[in-house]
Amino acid sequence: MNYYIVTEEVFETLTKSNIDFMLKSIDKSKRIVITSDTVSNNVNSFINGAALSEYTLTNTSDWVGDGGGVPESVFEDIEYIPELDD
C-alpha cells in the first residue's frame, strides 16, 4: 500500500476502487489516502502507516483538532466506501 496526503483535486482523479482508507482534513482541502496506486502529484507521501500516523500527531490542527492524531489502527479498521463519500 501507498500512504499519501493529496489535494481535493487530485483525490477526484484517483481510482476509488483502489483506495483502502480516506480521511478529509478539517478544512476539507486535503485528504489522507491509502491506495494501491502510485500518486506522483501528492502533497506528502509516507513510507508506512506508522509514519503517516506520526505526521498526524504533529499536525493535529489539520486532521483532528483535539490535540491528538490519527492512530495507525484506524487505517486498518475503517474501510473506504466511495458511495458514502460526500
Q: What count of other Cβ atoms lies within 10 Å of the Cβ of residue 70?
A: 21
With a cut of 70, say whether residue 52 has pLDDT above it: yes
Q: How many domains are there within the chain?
A: 1
Sheet of 2-7: strand order equals: 19-24, 30-35, 2-7, 44-46
Confidence band for 85, pLDDT divided at 50, 70 and 90: low
Q: Which helix (H) or strand (E) holds 72?
A: helix 72-77
Confidence band for 26, pLDDT divided at 50, 70 and 90: confident
Q: Amino acid identity of 71? A: P
With a cut of 80, say whether residue 42 has pLDDT above it: yes
Q: What count of other Cβ atoms lies within 10 Å of the Cβ of residue 24?
A: 15
CA 27, chain centre distance (Å): 14
Confidence band for 81, pLDDT divided at 50, 70 and 90: low
47 is in which domain, residue-wise? 2-83
